[in-house]
């Protein structure tokens, strides 16, 4: 059963692709030519896939889920899971856009060594990119906080649909539902929703996502640093680098002499460290960065 969802958010109009931006793209191609590239991506790469972000120009103010909120009470978690039971379907239905496909093309061309992503939407994997490190986990898995039991989000959805027969139909009858960037559907009446605990130990189950206030696992951080060290250039795409989980890799790349190119709408915390910053949509810029030389020479056809 499908629930009709809407985003409730319209991104700001992009800046025109004028001569200055074209020149910046050419400079980026020259800077990255012959270098092994690792990409660090954030929510801005997925906005053209229909997944809103928190910080781009035009995005409304939203409060992301925190670990403290999630653990605050069983009632809050039940309310959260009711909303997520509907909202995760929007993220699951999203498809890669031209920016994701451009990174895959760079990898197929032997230029991209991998992707470190702050996103939980799995769109890089859907686009066919390999060696994707998910810093903040992904929406497609759920785990127990006590015994680390795991289940796929699809299987959990089937179990919850059976347990909450009629819930989706009732909410669906109210029309379109706004969905936040973290797949939280904006519904208030969740009093008739039932959530399960871990079937093995009775512990709390949680999406396998790093919430605000949570730390990225040390092993994941170390792996990300290794990916940056193995590359000659770091390409930051669609991230304001507001939080340290992404900023530290840009700082590390700069400190170790890697080329640092940033493609993002709006300012980032690493703009002054970058060799080149392009303020434009990733879905417009990246296909031009990934274009074969003969295409680029003819004006990025």
Indicate the annotated binding residues for Zn(2+).
144, 147, 198, 201
Please state the φ and ψ torsions of residue 69, each to the nearest 5 degrees.
-65, -45
Does residue 136 have an active-site annotation? yes
Catalytic residue (choose from 100, 136, 254, 280): 136
Residue 161 burial (CB < 10 Å; 0-12/13-18/19+)? middle
3-state SS class at 132: strand
Q: Are strands 112-117 and 132-134 parallel, antiparallel or unpaired?
A: parallel
Buried/exposed code over 244-261 (b: 16+ C-beta within 10 A; e: otherwise): ebbbbbbbbbbeeebbbb
Tell me how many degrees the CA angle 90-3-207 measures, rounded to the nearest 5: 45
DSSP, residue by residue, 183-252? S-B-----TT------TTT---EEEEE--BTPPPPHHHHHHHHHHHHH-SEEEEES----SHHHHHHHHH
β-pair partners for 205:
144
- Using CA atoms, how far residue 67 sits from 8, 192, 195, 215, in Å, is 25, 24, 18, 10
Beta strands in the chain (DSSP E): 5-6, 37-41, 112-117, 132-134, 137-144, 150-152, 177-178, 205-209, 233-237, 259-263, 276-278
Please name which of 216, 195, 192 lies closest in space to residue 204, comparing C-alpha atoms.
195
User: Which residues make up each annotated binding site?
Assistant: 144, 147, 198, 201
β-pair partners for 127:
none
Residues annotated catalytic, as ranges: 136
């Amino acid at each position: 059963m499908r629930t009709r969802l809407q985003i409730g958010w319209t991104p700001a109009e992009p800046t025109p692709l004028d001569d200055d931006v074209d020149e910046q793209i050419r400079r980026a191609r020259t800077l990255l030519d012959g270098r092994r590239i690792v990409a660090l991506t954030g929510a801005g790469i997925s906005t053209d896939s229909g997944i809103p972000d928190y910080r781009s120009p035009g995005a409304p103010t939203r409060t992301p889920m925190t670990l403290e909120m999630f653990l605050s009470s069983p009632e809050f978690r039940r309310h959260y899971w009711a909303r997520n039971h509907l909202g995760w379907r929007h993220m699951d239905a999203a498809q890669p856009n031209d920016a994701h496909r451009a990174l895959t093309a760079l990898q197929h061309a032997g230029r991209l060594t991998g992707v470190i992503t702050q996103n939980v939407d799995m769109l890089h994997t859907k686009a066919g990119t390999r060696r994707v490190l998910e810093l903040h986990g992904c929406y497609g898995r759920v785990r127990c906080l006590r015994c680390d039991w795991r289940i796929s989000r699809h299987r959990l959805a089937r179990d919850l649909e059976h347990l909450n027969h009629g819930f989706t139909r009732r909410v669906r009858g109210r029309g379109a539902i706004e969905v936040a960037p973290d797949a939280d559907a904006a519904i208030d009446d969740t009093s008739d929703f039932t959530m399960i605990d871990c079937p093995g130990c009775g512990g709390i189950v949680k999406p396998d996502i790093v919430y605000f206030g949570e730390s990225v696992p040390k092993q994941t951080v170390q792996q990300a640093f290794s990916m940056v060290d193995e590359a000659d250039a770091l390409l930051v795409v669609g991230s304001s680098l507001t939080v340290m989980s992404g900023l530290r890799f840009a700082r590390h790349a700069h400190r170790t002499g890697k080329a640092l190119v940033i493609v993002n709408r709006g300012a980032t915390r690493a703009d002054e460290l970058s060799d080149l910053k392009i303020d434009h949509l990733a879905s417009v810029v990246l296909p031009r960065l990934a274009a074969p030389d003969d295409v680029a020479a003819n004006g990025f056809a």
